[in-house]
Amino acid sequence: MNNSLIDYQAIFAHAPIGMCVSERRIMQVCNLALTRMFGYQPAELNGQSFQVLYPTQDEFERTGARIVPIMNAKGLYSDERIMRRANGELFWCHVTGHSLVPDDTHAAGIWTFEDLSEKRSVSAELSPREREIAALLVEGKTSKLIGKQIGLSPRTVEMHRANLMKKFAAATSSELVHRLLGVRQ
């Protein structure tokens, strides 16, 4: 196929998954799927900090710090987390990023976002820390690994897990993960 016939800007703009290019955690250009997913007008997110997509400033900062060692080691990062739409609605989102500058994670990157709300709803009122721990539980991480990754003791992580189990009426950790994932049992 002749590359001169391929309009890469049109492909980016109309890709069926949310995409953006970032510099220093500022969205430089976002495609239509991303702006629609988050409830913004086309180009409204361009030049905005990723912070507007997070439930809280603290979650934005902690997530940014958490991805640095992983991105520096692999050049790629992926997780599922709770994000915030323009109208304040919270929803589960699969986020994947690729750093374009080795050893400088936030210098420049390409990010994709997939709305998981049809598969999984945010059904309980969760604190920012509970949202963070819920996302890591969904990844299959143990309390010890979660604690190490986010700088908490395993006992503190267990306390948050117990609160999540109460909020989701889950009898076991496995049942909690299934409920977080929206799996019907």
Which is higher by pLDDT, 86 or 172? 86
- Dihedral, CA of residue 89, residue 94, residue 99 and residue 105, to nearest 10: 60
Which is higher by pLDDT, 179 or 115? 115
Mean pLDDT, the chain, rounded, equals: 89
DSSP conformational letter for 149: H
Q: Does residue 156 register a pLDDT over 60?
A: yes
pTM of the model: 0.75
Which is higher by pLDDT, 184 or 168? 168
Residues counted in the chain: 185
Model confidence pLDDT, tens digit, residues 66-105:
899 888 888 899 998 999 999 999 999 999 999 999 888 8
Burial of 185 (0-12, 13-18, 19+ CB in 10 A): exposed
- Render the burial of 81-104: b for 16+ CB within 10 Å, e for the rest: bbbbbeeeebbbbbbebebeeeee
Q: Does residue 141 register a pLDDT over 80?
A: yes
